[in-house]
Amino acid sequence: MRQGWRWFGPEAPVTLDDVRQTGATNIVSSLHQVPIGRAWTEKEVRERQSLIETTPADRSSLVWSVVESIPIPDAVKRRGGEAKAEIEAWIASLEAVAACGIPIVCYNFMPVVDWTRTELDYVTPTGATAMRFDHERFAAFDLFILERPDAARDYSDADRERARIIFEAMSEDEIAEITRIITSALPGSTTEPLTIPAFREKLVAYSGIDAAKLRRHLIEFLEAVTPAAEARGVKLTLHPDDPPRSLFGLPRIASTADDYAALFDAVPSKANGMCYCTGSLGVRADNDLPAIARRFASRIYFAHLRATTREGDGRTFHESAHLEGDVDMVAVLRELVAEDRRRGDQDTIVFRSDHGHRMLDDLDKTVTPGYPAIGRMRGLAELRGILHALGAPPS
């Protein structure tokens, strides 16, 4: 298995030399500066690749092995195969990536909002901070800030009353902060930042799109793009929904093993793969993570390894340290190592320590939410230790 690291580009607080010091060897990056829907050019991809792979004297080399992500435009999610121009632009981006020899592309199919949290610096018992999704605060936003029509029917009487109490206790600054976190797109997001009015308009645009229709649109997208990926030796990896359940009344279709099975049955191409994210899938208690890894082992080309802790009835969760929380990381890695050993060196799984606590010096620095250096380095070191214990030291 290969040690990856999410890098947000030359303006990011974490530098490539910082990455080298963590022990990571493979870079996971994207052209975040390119507007969603505009085709990437080979020149743009090569410029980023050169920045990553041109090794200064006396420095260890890095390779850009995963693109995370080429964003899928909203029109594709709403219209499926009818969004021909948007799909053609996406394929052009894929071709630019393939021309540069980058073998893995990650993407997601979450409508309107990408990964969602309500707090970015939840204080843990150690004094480090973590990201958190608080169901009650989310309900307060949905019901009383966004004021989504028909939102009330998605919550119990007790939920609505608790959300009202929380909302009425919020200061203007707290309302502004939760609005910013939910609507402005978190780092690496593949959806557009939104104002509250624009958010409402987006939701209206999804009226009549249920899970079956959204899945059909994803299948139509995959039927269009997987031949291009297969012909160019690129593996597509679908990231799970985060959190893996409906938000704002919107369907989510990459939340369970059955969701992925339906997509692999519909588009059996080996280019149609999975980004196996333990953090996203692990939020659901009914997702058996080692079993999912075992079932879809041959489809896993890229892995996000992190853990979450479910709180209360499980609808609220926070991101725990990598070897804590509700994810049995040893069992997960045992399955991934077994699959990796069946493959050749060129097809080995790329993994990255996903997210991380804000801790030590990073508490006093500007950091990318979810992606501080020290917390991720701790996670990578812990994952590396498991792999050594399993007799599979990573490269």
pLDDT tens across 129-145, in order?
Answer: 999 999 999 999 999 99
Residues of 343-373 as b/e, b for ≥16 C-beta within 10 angstroms?
eeeeebbbbbbbbbbbbeebeeeebebbbbb
- In degrees, rounded to 5, the angle at the alpha carbon of residue 354 between the alpha carbons of residues 9 and 274 is 95
Among 277, 318, 340, 362, the one annotated catalytic: 277
Whole-number percent of the chain with pLDDT over 70: 99
pLDDT for 228: 98
Q: How far apart are CA 373 and CA 353, in angstroms?
A: 11
pLDDT for 344: 81
239 is catalytic: yes
Among 217, 239, 318, 357, the one annotated catalytic: 239
Q: Could you tell me the CA-to-CA distances from 57 to 52, 54, 61, 171 in Å, in that order?
A: 14, 10, 10, 53
What does the mean pLDDT of the chain come to? 96
pLDDT for 88: 98
pLDDT for 346: 77
SS3 27: strand
Give the pair of three-digit tokens for residue 191: 């959806």
Among 304, 318, 322, 357, the one annotated catalytic: 304
pLDDT of 185 above 80: no
- In degrees, rounded to 5, the angle at the alpha carbon of residue 302 between the alpha carbons of residues 184 and 369 is 25
371 is catalytic: yes
304 is catalytic: yes
Per-residue pLDDT band for 255 (boundaries 50, 70, 90) equals very high
Residue 123: Cβ within 10 Å count: 12
pLDDT for 186: 73
Q: How far apart are CA 31 and CA 9, in angstroms?
A: 8
Among 242, 259, 326, 354, the one annotated catalytic: 354
What is the CA 347 to chain-centroid distance, rounded? 21
pLDDT for 238: 98
pLDDT for 365: 94
Least confident of 169-173, 193-197, 298-302: 193-197
pLDDT for 193: 84
The residue length of the chain stands at 395
Per-residue pLDDT band for 192 (boundaries 50, 70, 90) equals confident
Q: Model confidence over 17-32: pLDDT tens digits? A: 999 999 999 999 999 9
Q: Model confidence over 70-129: pLDDT tens digits? A: 999 999 999 999 999 999 999 999 999 999 999 999 999 999 999 999 999 999 999 999
Q: Are 108 and 254 in contact (CB under 8 A)?
A: yes
pLDDT of 306 above 90: yes
Residue with the two structure tokens 């850009």: 64
SS3 319: strand
Query: Which amino acid is located at 105 in the chain?
Result: V
361 is catalytic: no
Per-residue pLDDT band for 13 (boundaries 50, 70, 90) equals very high
List, in order of start, the domains of the chain with CATH numbers: 2-117+201-389 (3.20.20.150)
pLDDT for 345: 80
Per-residue pLDDT band for 184 (boundaries 50, 70, 90) equals confident
Whole-number percent of the chain with pLDDT over 90: 96
Q: Are 210 and 159 in contact (CB under 8 A)?
A: no
Output the pTM of the full model. Answer: 0.96
Q: Model confidence over 334-344: pLDDT tens digits? A: 999 999 999 98
What is the CA 68 to chain-centroid distance, rounded? 8
Among 135, 322, 355, 357, the one annotated catalytic: 355
Q: Model confidence over 199-251: pLDDT tens digits? A: 999 999 999 999 999 999 999 999 999 999 999 999 999 999 999 999 999 99
Per-residue pLDDT band for 33 (boundaries 50, 70, 90) equals very high
pLDDT for 123: 98
